[in-house]
Structure 1
Amino acid sequence: MTQQTWTAVDDYFDGLLVEEDAALVAAAADSEAAGLPAHQVAPNQGKLLNLLARIHGARRILEIGTLGGYSTIWLARALPPGGRLVTLEVDAQCADVAAANIARAGLADVVDIRRGRAVDLLPELSDLAPFDLVFIDADKPSNPDYLKWALALTRPGSVIIGDNVVRDGAVVDPDSPDPRVQGVRRFTELISEHPKLTATALQTVGSKGYDGLVLALVTN
């Protein structure tokens, strides 16, 4: 199988099942025009996040890593009336682009964009906890720290999702010199060892290439 095939299959299912409206299309286009890295989730992955949040009935969502706000829009649209999403972004340009994209989607009153290093911002969120769903999609070397705070800011029944954990298969290499791979490996090992978490991981292929995610449930 080739990247061309993976993209074609994504396009087929997206055309039937994924409602990517003008605000989402514009969010992706404006992120690209601003020169942001093309690291946002694919449309079908955004819809998956939206469905998971809706199935879970999430009222409070924490996103670590905003980028241009594409995944933020998908997640925020899953919230019921009165719901709230807090998203953390260290890069000022990304935060500016995201703010414009989120406002155009009509979600400025639902989404709280906080600017700065996530490890500095996370301790400030205890008054908003517990969060029902946490989506971690930021710098991978810090994933172990993000997991620690995700656990501190959630409750039994909360869901924690970690994106980009397969790294084109490099995750299986214990000797990888890539700090992103090592961050993902330690993140997954900590999840596997934690008595309050049960989890699984899924490999994915598609328009974004070969990667995957970890899905964990806080049990007690």
Structure 2
Amino acid sequence: MSLKSLSLTDELHAYLVAHGSPPDEIVRDLAEETRAVLPDEAGMQVAPEQAAFLTFLTRLLGVRQAVEVGTFTGLSSLAIARGLADGGRLTCFDISEEYTSVARRYWERAGVADRVELRIGPAADGLHELPRERYLDFAFIDADKVGYPVYWSELVPRMRPGGLIVVDNVLRGGRVIAPQNADDRAIAAFNDEVLADVRVDVVMLPVADGLTLARVR
């Protein structure tokens, strides 16, 4: 029994990944290519256990309409798309043609490209143009940290009752306790905003760099 989550050694992390929907060849190749081609940015890619968790959640909820803010080279979008219900659609927002060109290749390879719509441009503008009704089942936020409050404000009113918003990097490597830069301060303030939002039920999990799960009431 433990009163808090375990700290993971490299060996324990490898064991965890191997015993919970371990990455297949496509996921392994995508992760390896990202590290090889974009070594300085590869830390923006979600962890393998996060990818498995996103697929699990998407399947569990029977998601048909999903949004992703921040696509990078496509591991999280690949994971979400794989979990969509028949006829499901994922709309991705990103500002980089370079990064998402990698994502497009892996969506094609995985056979999910027909489920994904990529919109290049500022996510705040793209989200604002989405239908106003409460139709979204699932949303994943993993983009510029100072933009989180705007993305949240655009997404919550568009989520159906019971819909789920998942937010990445909410612990900032532990620095939310003592923020050291603008991104840390932005996330610390955002976490307080989400906690106070009466429209959602929230749990924060120590998965990778921290995940917030917010169920819209």
* TM superposition score normalised by structure 2: 0.89
Q: How does 1:110-149 map to 2 (within 5 A)?
A: 110-126=115-131, 130-149=135-154
Q: Which runs of 5+ in 1 are unaligned?
A: 206-210
Question: Pick from 99, 122, 135: which aligns with 1:94?
Answer: 99
Q: 2:166 aligns with which of 143, 161, 170?
A: 161
Structure-2 separation of matches of 1:29 and 1:116: 27
Do residues 191 (structure 1) and 191 (structure 2) align?
no
| Runs of 4+ displaced beyond 3 Å | none
Supply the distance in 2 between the matched residues of 1:33 and 1:137 (Cα, whole angstroms).
Answer: 21
Please state if 1:53 is matched with 2:58: yes
- CA distance in structure 2 between the aligned counterparts of 1:30 and 1:126, rounded to whole angstroms: 36
| 8 Å contact kept, 2:137–2:159 | yes
CA distance in 2, matches of 1:161, 1:5: 22
| 1:212 is aligned to 2:215 | no
Q: Distance in 2 between matches of 1:104 and 1:24?
A: 10
Letter of the 1:65 counterpart: G
TM-score, length-scaled by structure 1: 0.88
Contact 1:156–1:218 (Cα < 8 Å) also in 2: yes
Identity %: 33
Residue in 1 aligned with 2:114?
109
| C-alpha contact (below 8 Å) 2:132/2:158 kept by paired residues | no
Amino acid at match of 2:182: P
Q: 1:193 to 1:28 in 2, by over 3 A?
A: same
User: RMSD of aligned C-alpha atoms?
Assistant: 1.8
Q: CA deviation at 1:128?
A: 8.5
Q: Please state how far the C-alpha of 1:29 moved relative to its aligned partner.
A: 2.1
Counterpart-to-counterpart distance in 2, 1:203 and 1:162: 12
Distance in 1 (CA, whole Å) between partners of 2:21 and 2:211 is 19
Q: Is residue 72 of structure 1 aligned with residue 77 of structure 2? A: yes
Distance 1:87 1:41 in 2: 15
Are 1:9 and 2:8 matched, yes or no? no
Q: How many residues align?
A: 209
1:34 pairs with 2:37? yes
Could you list the runs of 5+ residues in structure 2 that have no partner in the other structure?
1-6
Paired position in structure 2 for 1:208? none
- 1:33 Cα deviation (Å)? 3.0
Contact between 1:26 and 1:101, CA under 8 Å: does it hold in 2? Answer: no
Deviation at 1:216, TM superposition (A): 0.6
Q: Distance in 1 between matches of 2:14 and 2:132?
A: 42
- CA offset at residue 74 of structure 1? 0.8
Residue identity opposite 1:152 in structure 2: P
Q: Deviations over 1:34-63 (max 9, x none)?
A: 316112111111111111111112111111
1:19 Cα deviation from its structure 2 partner? 3.3
Query: How far apart, in 1, do the equivalents of 2:110 and 2:132 lie?
Result: 27
